[in-house]
């Protein structure tokens, strides 16, 4: 199976041994060895998923690198983070996903499922697509972030509240809710800038980046 190695905060190296790795189009920085590139589409299983993506503008062009050698990935000077997925489901925005391989099963998830109407609201308001990408199984993935990404542990006793613009993904057994904080005084006519947050509850990890979208 391809192995991921973090070269520095903005570069990863994927080693292929007659294997393949999927990555964001345009993210290939360099490669050594015999590697060929082909286009691929994210969509998990079948036409239906693809159709859903087209309708909701979550279309995402992927490249699959196949062969034997080393491929280096990075994107626009953004930070790269390698995350271990252990027999769980990782949820991540498609544009945040940098690289993954066939150890994980991909799919799309309608944000609405996780909180009904509030899910849709969250999607529309935060500018993220209504669908998010899911990766399930055991393996590694590489994700992008603007500034360092940190993982915050969520436990049943300690829920985590997150600014939707800083949210990049989560994994584990989590449910989410929109929380609005109506407690501000406005003297000069603007909001506090934190009009709503997303509350994560359960057992898992939420990933945030050091900037607002």
Name the site residues for another protein (rule: CB under 8 A).
Answer: 7-11, 25-32, 36-39, 63, 72, 74-80, 146-148, 150, 152, 158-163, 166, 181, 183-188, 190-194, 206, 208-212
Query: How distant is the alpha carbon of residue 30 from its chain centre?
Result: 23
- Please say which residue, 126 or 136, places its beta carbon nearer to another protein: 126
- Please say which residue, 104 or 144, places its beta carbon nearer to another protein: 144
**Main-chain phi, psi angles of 112, to 5 degrees:** -60, -30
Q: Measured from the CB of residue 18, what is the shortest distance to another protein in angstroms?
A: 18
Q: Measured from the CB of residue 117, what is the shortest distance to another protein in angstroms?
A: 24
* Contacts of 46 by beta carbon, 8 Å cutoff, 6+ apart: none
Strands (E), the chain: 3-8, 11-24, 28-41, 61-73, 79-92, 97-100, 104-110, 131-145, 149-154, 160-162, 167-180, 196-209
| Cα separation, 62 vs 69, whole angstroms | 19
Q: Measured from the CB of residue 178, what is the shortest distance to another protein in angstroms?
A: 15
- Please say which residue, 54 or 212, places its beta carbon nearer to another protein: 212
- Please say which residue, 116 or 147, places its beta carbon nearer to another protein: 147
- Please say which residue, 108 or 144, places its beta carbon nearer to another protein: 144
Q: Measured from the CB of residue 12, what is the shortest distance to another protein in angstroms?
A: 10
| Cα separation, 93 vs 58, whole angstroms | 9
| Cα separation, 58 vs 195, whole angstroms | 26
Q: Measured from the CB of residue 11, what is the shortest distance to another protein in angstroms?
A: 6
Q: Measured from the CB of residue 187, what is the shortest distance to another protein in angstroms?
A: 6
* Buried/exposed 67-104: b ≥16 CB within 10 Å, e otherwise: beeebbbbbeebbbbebebeebbbbbbbebbbbbbeeb
- Please say which residue, 29 or 107, places its beta carbon nearer to another protein: 29
């Amino acid at each position: 199976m391809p192995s991921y190695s973090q070269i520095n905060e903005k570069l990863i190296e994927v080693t292929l041994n007659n294997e393949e790795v999927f990555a964001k189009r345009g993210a290939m920085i360099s490669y050594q060895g015999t590697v060929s590139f082909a286009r691929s589409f994210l969509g998990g299983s079948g036409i239906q998923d693809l159709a859903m993506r087209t309708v909701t503008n979550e279309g995402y062009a992927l490249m699959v690198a196949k062969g034997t050698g080393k491929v280096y990935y990075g994107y626009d000077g953004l930070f790269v983070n390698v995350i271990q997925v252990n027999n769980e489901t990782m949820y991540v925005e498609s544009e945040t996903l940098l690289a993954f391989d066939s150890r994980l099963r991909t799919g799309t998830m309608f944000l609405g499922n996780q909180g009904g109407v509030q899910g849709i609201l969250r999607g529309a308001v935060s500018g993220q697509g209504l669908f998010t990408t899911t990766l399930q199984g055991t393996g590694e993935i590489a994700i992008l972030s603007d500034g360092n990404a940190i993982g915050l542990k969520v436990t049943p006793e300690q829920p985590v509240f997150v600014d939707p613009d800083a949210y990049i993904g989560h994994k584990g057994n989590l449910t989410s809710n929109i929380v609005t904080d109506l407690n501000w005084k406005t003297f000069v006519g603007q909001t506090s800038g934190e009009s709503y947050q997303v509350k994560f509850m359960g057992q898992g990890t939420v990933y945030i980046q050091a900037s607002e979208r």
